[in-house]
Structure 1
Amino acid sequence: MDALRAIVAGTDLRSFARAAAQLGRSQSAVSMQLKKLEQQAGTQLFVRKGRTLVATDAGEALVAYARRIIALNDEAALALGATATTATVRLGLPQDFFEDVMPATLSEYSRLHPGVHVEVQAGPNHVLAEEVRAGRLDAAIAFCPESSSGSGGELIGKLPMRWMAHKSLVFDSRIDRIPLVLFDHPCLFRQSALSALEKAGKRWRVAVTTPSLPGIWAALRSNLGLAVRTEHGMPEGVQCSGEKFGLPKLPAISLKLLRSSNASPAAQDLCNLLEHETIRLVAPG
């Protein structure tokens, strides 16, 4: 079964080195499994084209059977309550959802699959999306531009972006340059803030940049400037301040569920729970 999982991962990732990393094995161990399968099949299963490995006709046939065998194996294990303790599913989330969506999802998932090890990764939206595409994450929630209907993923909802500041922040936007608290580039919220200000002819300056959401909230509580976020998870003392400072309106931002194409049944269960809890807690109706 391990060898079958290796060739499926190698096919999806177009690299057995990346497959080995995803499966937590050495590259030499995965290469030995591939050679053993080729010896048993009596034919070559993969050929190298440039830097990628491509399945031969025999390899494609074996991969198709391998997917079915793995799916049936996982389904049987789940049905019998015999999920291996070494099974791992990988989840990605923006930091916005670590206080509510993550604990709600993991609590229910651990009840359904007590033997599965869950890895949770935080990161920028573009990184989470790439990790799912590469098969290194089974599922992720990510913010996407409102107009990204054709970019893949399942739309969960659309959330309005807001200008935010601590309630005690004071400055005159007619005279002073607007102090901004921004995520590191690239960032959809950063891009939306700067684009809106440029279109409105507003003068601005970067007061703080940070790679983390706690850093954003800390800077706002310190009265260092304004940030653009959704209202979800807005801490005490921080408020929507666009109207107060005469700032331009902002568009909505889409929230999407991204699924890996080769997610196991256990990972699909996690995807479904993640979608349910995100809709319930973040984007109801």
Structure 2
Amino acid sequence: MSLPVNLDMDVLRSFVTGIELGSFARAASRLGRSPSAISLQLRKLEDQVGQQLVQKHGRGLVLTEAGEMLLGYARRLLDLNDAAVNALGSPALTGRVRIGLPQDFAETWLPETLGRFARLHPGVRIDAHVDRNATLRSRLDEGQLDLALLWDEDGGERDGAVIGTLPMAWIGPRRGVTPGTDHPIPLVLFGSPCIFRHAALNALDAAAIPWRISFSSPGLAGLWAAVSAGLGLTVRTPHGLPAALTALDQEESGLPRLPSLSLHLLEARTRSDPAVERLAALLTDVLTVAIGEMDHATNVAPH
């Protein structure tokens, strides 16, 4: 009877980091290793599992079916490893973290990330508040939040970590026809104040394109439903769109170009709290990777 194969955690971490960052060269920099060392680790992992995990695709690499399967297991193994190290190697974190999130992320990246944090630090209570940018900013300033993810409205956001930049896009139904610019364009938007509304109306006015508000909603689900029903176009980032919606090609649609938005993670101006700092670090890592994946898709640069 052959002995079971014991997968090396360091090797698994290099594999997962390379895939999540979109490049094994970036993984080498993040983990403090040379690119050649990461390459050796990848080959070792393929030898251990007896299958090819990545394959060439154009100038980059993509996961094979076996690689996709291993990636899920590897992430869970690393979570268990990190939970064990945290439980045994340092005092358990306790306390409460109040975090504010834009609606754009409440149903996509963040639930899994907050769940991961809760598993690693069960003694910390997380209170998540989902709301619009202006409300989150006000609650942070008033001391009602410890952390807040905020869109940069004017390019002059206070302090805080810049997580990444996402483009704004005109969003319409995948099955529908883009309204022409000869008649007022029907728009589905939040009420004021809203940075996406402001950007959409400014862009249309600057291009002398007439518009009308056909539907207004206080929540993102309402916007998606109205656009899916063909009531008009909206403006958001391309992140997390429902399957029935798509970002429109600006040249083909004749719609004006829109600006990009920076995403910032801000902490309240209070005394340092280890639980807040640990959650801020995890969010920064996860969102940086997720935004990078939007740019690189599943391609992995040669290593």
What's the TM-score once normalised by structure 1's chain length?
0.67
1:130 partnered with 2:138: yes
Residues 199, 117 of structure 1: CA spacing in aligned structure 2 closer, same or farther, 3 A cutoff?
A: same
**For residue 112 of structure 2, what is the aligned residue in structure 1?**
104
Match of 2:284 in 1: 275
Match of 2:15 in 1: none
Q: Give the superposition deviation at 1:273.
A: 1.0
Q: Is the 8 A contact 1:100 1:281 kept in 2?
A: no
Q: 1:188 aligns with which of 189, 195, 202?
A: 195
After superposition, residues 187-266 of structure 1 pair within 5 angstroms as 187-241=194-248, 242-262=250-270, 263-266=272-275
Deviations, residues 228-277 of structure 1 (Å, cap 9, x unaligned): 01110011121122334310000111111111122511111111111111
Q: Deviations over 1:110-137 (max 9, x none)?
A: 1221011110001111221222222211
Question: In structure 2, the residue corresponding to 1:137 is in which secondary structure?
Answer: coil
Question: 4+ residue stretches of structure 1 with deviation over 3 A?
Answer: none
Q: How far is 1:217 from its partner? A: 0.6
1:124 and 1:283 map into 2 onto residues whose CA distance is 24
Note the 1:1-285 alignment, pairs <5 A. 79-81=90-92, 83-84=93-94, 87-145=95-153, 147-170=154-177, 172-241=179-248, 242-262=250-270, 263-283=272-292
**Residues in 2 aligned to 1:110 and 1:136: alpha-carbon distance in whole angstroms:** 21
Distance 1:108 1:171 in 2: 40
Q: Is the 8 A contact 2:101 2:149 kept in 1?
A: yes
Q: Percent identity?
A: 39
- Kindly provide the amino acid, as one letter, of the partner of residue 175 in structure 1: D
Structure with higher RCO (Cα < 8 A, 6+ apart) = 2
In structure 2, C-alpha distance between the alignment counterparts of 1:150 and 1:222, rounded to whole Å: 36
1:140-199 Cα deviation digits (max 9, x unpaired): 111113x42353322111111100100233365243210000012100000000000000
User: Is the contact made by 1:104 and 1:277 (CA closer than 8 Å) also made in structure 2?
Assistant: no
How many residue pairs get aligned? The number is 204
Matched residue type, 1:139: L
Structure 1 residue matching 2:188: 3-state secondary structure: strand
Cα contact 2:172–2:178 (8 A) shared by 1:
no
C-alpha distance in 1, partners of 2:194/2:215?
A: 14
Deviation at 1:283, TM superposition (A): 4.3
- Which segments of 5 or more consecutive residues in structure 2 lack a partner in the other structure? 1-88, 296-303
Q: CA RMSD in A?
A: 1.9
- Once residues 185 and 115 of structure 1 are traced to their aligned partners in structure 2, the CA distance between those partners, rounded to angstroms, is 39
